[in-house]
Amino acid sequence: MRESTWRSLGLALAAAYAAFIVWLYVRQPQTVAEMTGAMTASIGAYQIDDAAFADGVRLFRRDQFDASRLAFERADSAHQDARTQFYIAYSYYRQGWGRVYNDDALFQRGLEAVDRAIVAAPHGRVAVDDPDLQMRSADELKAELQAGIRRDASDLNPLRIFRQRK
Amino acid sequence: MKREAFFLPLSFLTVTLLGGVRVADRIVLLPPPLVSLVLGVLLVGVLVRSGALAPERLMNGARTPLANVSGAVVLITTFLAAAQAFTVAIPEYGLPRLLFSVFLFVLLMNTSAAAPDRVRVLRSVLVIFGSAFILKFIVLAALSDPAGGWWKRTLLAMLEGLTLGTLSQDVYRPATGYIAFATLALFIGTLALLPSRQTTALARTS
């Protein structure tokens, strides 16, 4: 093989490897599943496990949030599906919601999940058509989670106990 | 030629990739901080001054444009790998980070002023990274580890008091140390394979 061919091959390989490294540092995948999932998602070939997702929704509607998240995690192990991440965030909201006070730790995890949903969605827009949910977009859910964590004077309002979980 | 086109850039890119890996509850990839970039420039400067790296052998008018681009890639990846090698060696924050950064900066300036030859500078790099690795991944990691007896906790509390709470670092899984060791070994091994000025002189003699 000619020298120029070897050099071209080397340059192409180095450029591809460098691009892969930059991509890894930007995306920060946590597991091999996340890495492969993000790679397939970037070319539009990522698919979730539909059966596991259906299990997750069924458990979510029964208020079995821990179990539903296990199913959602199985459905979208790479955290690349906006709809699944939205349901995960919603499960943290419903589990963490309290009439007197909210569970900040669960709300925080909900925020992380809704952020993942926004990142995974095209143009950052997540809309879920589910009549069981009162909040059907990531924007509403994120605002509700942020409001739940925020500390302000309205926390002292005794009428808070009459509010409803969404 | 194949070394320059394949092995050197790919090896240095691997150092760049692994240099930022930290394994805790989750895997984090740390980009090089500014201090690492500065130290990386200094190290490349020291390598060039000592003849351990001869840029004129990688890029010159007698080479084809493609060969010059290939040489430029080696130089760029050498710098990136040097920066990430320092990211491995320097603690992530606090007083230790400041001390390590100043110490390494002074050490590199001193090495540059001494103008050692290729072999001496490679030995010096080995000592610099070896001692930094031991201090960070063995000494500091042991001090930062919350597990341990009462005497260790007392000692740590005293040291934390003396350093205004800036001594202890994040505790990583042991895999981080092994990855860091392999990264530094690969980096120093690859530095030894760079085209050197000494080799040019020998080639001319022969």
Query: A4-13, A63-72, A97-106, A148-157 — which is least confidently predicted?
Result: A148-157
Does some domain include residue A68?
Answer: yes
Contact B29 A24 (CB under 8 A): yes
Instruction: Say if the Cβ atoms of A28 and B28 lie within 8 Å.
Output: yes
pLDDT value of residue A53: 95
Average pLDDT over residues B92-116: 88
Lowest-pLDDT choice from A20-29, A57-66, B181-190 = A20-29
Q: Is the Cβ of A7 closer than 8 Å to some Cβ of chain B?
A: yes
Residues A119-144 have pLDDT tens digits of 989 889 999 999 999 999 999 999 99
Q: Give the pLDDT score at B168.
A: 66
Residue the block writes with tokens 């392999």: B182
* Helix (H) / strand (E) containing B108: helix B94-114
CATH no. for residue A118? Answer: 1.25.40.10
Burial (Cβ within 10 Å: 0-12, 13-18, ≥19) of residue A72: buried
- Kindly report the nearest CA distance between residue B171 and chain A, in angstroms: 17
**Rounded mean pLDDT of chain A?**
90
Question: In 3D, which of B118, B47, B134 has the Cα closest to residue B82?
Answer: B47
Mean pLDDT, range B133-140, rounded to an integer: 87
Asked whether residue A36 is assigned to any structural domain, the reply reads no
- High-pLDDT (> 90) share of chain B, %: 53
Q: Give which of B3, B18, B26 to mutate to test A binding, by max A Cβ within 10 Å.
A: B26
Interface contact A22, partner B, CB < 8 A = no
**Which residues of chain A have a CB within 8 Å of the CB of B17?**
21, 24
Judged against a pLDDT cut of 90, whether residue B80 lies above it is answered with yes
Binned at pLDDT 50, 70 and 90, residue A100 comes out as confident
Average pLDDT over all residues of chain B: 86
Locate the DSSP E strands across chain B. Answer: 21-23, 27-29
Greater pLDDT, A16 or A164: A16
Q: Does A9 touch chain B (CB under 8 A)?
A: yes
What confidence score (pLDDT) does residue B149 get? 66
| B83 in Cβ contact with B15 (< 8 Å) | no
Nearest Cα of chain A lies from the Cα of B60 at a distance, in angstroms, of 16
**For position B79, what pLDDT does the model report?**
96
- Select the residue of B5, B13, B28 nearest A17 (Cβ to Cβ): B13
pLDDT tens-place string over residues B163-173: 666 666 677 78
Q: Is B66 within 8 Å of chain A by CB?
A: yes
Cβ distance of A7 and B20 shorter than 8 Å: no
Do B27 and A18 make contact, defined as CB atoms within 8 angstroms?
Answer: no
User: What confidence score (pLDDT) does residue A66 get?
Assistant: 95
Between residues A70 and B137, the one the model is more confident about: A70
Pick A25's closest partner by Cβ from B2, B4, B31.
Answer: B31
Name the band, by pLDDT with cuts 50, 70 and 90, for residue B206: very low
Q: Which residue has the tokens 């890119």?
A: B13
- Decide if A30 is inside a domain: no
Return the higher-pLDDT residue of B121 and B27: B121
Say yes or no for a CB contact (<8 Å) between B17 and A14: no
CA distance B80 to chain A (A): 11
The count of domains in chain A is: 1
- Is the pLDDT at B203 greater than 60? The verdict is no
Q: Report B:164-193 residues touching A (Cβ under 8 A).
A: none
Domain assignment present for residue A137? The answer is: yes
- Averaged pLDDT, B75-88: 95
Is the pLDDT at B27 greater than 90, yes or no?
no
Q: What average pLDDT score do residues A18-32 get?
A: 87
Which residues of chain A make contact with B10, given a CB cutoff of 8 A?
A: 13-14, 17
- Asked if A10 and B70 come within 8 Å (Cβ–Cβ), the reply is yes
B26 at interface of A, judged by CB pairs closer than 8 A = yes
The whole-number pLDDT of residue A162 equals 82
Q: How far is B21 from chain A (nearest CA, A)?
A: 10
pLDDT higher than 90, residue A159: no
Is A128 within a domain?
A: yes
User: Which pLDDT value is given to residue B165?
Assistant: 61
| Domain presence at residue A131 | yes
A10: nearest CB among B5, B17, B29: B5
pLDDT higher than 60, residue B202 = no
- Three-state DSSP class for A93? helix
pLDDT in the model for residue B183:
95
Contacts of B48 (CB under 8 A, 6+ apart): B54, B55
Q: What are the respective helix, strand and coil percentages of chain A, to the nearest 5? A: 70, 0, 30
Contact A18, B13 (CB under 8 A): yes
The yes-or-no verdict on residue A41 having pLDDT over 80 is no
Q: In terms of residue numbers, what domain contains A119?
A: 45-162
For chain A, what percent of residues have pLDDT higher than 70?
99
- Whether A117 maps to a domain, the answer reads yes
pTM of this structure: 0.73
Is residue A62 pLDDT above 90, yes or no? yes
Interchain pair A30, B73: CB under 8 A: no
Residue A19 lies in a domain: no
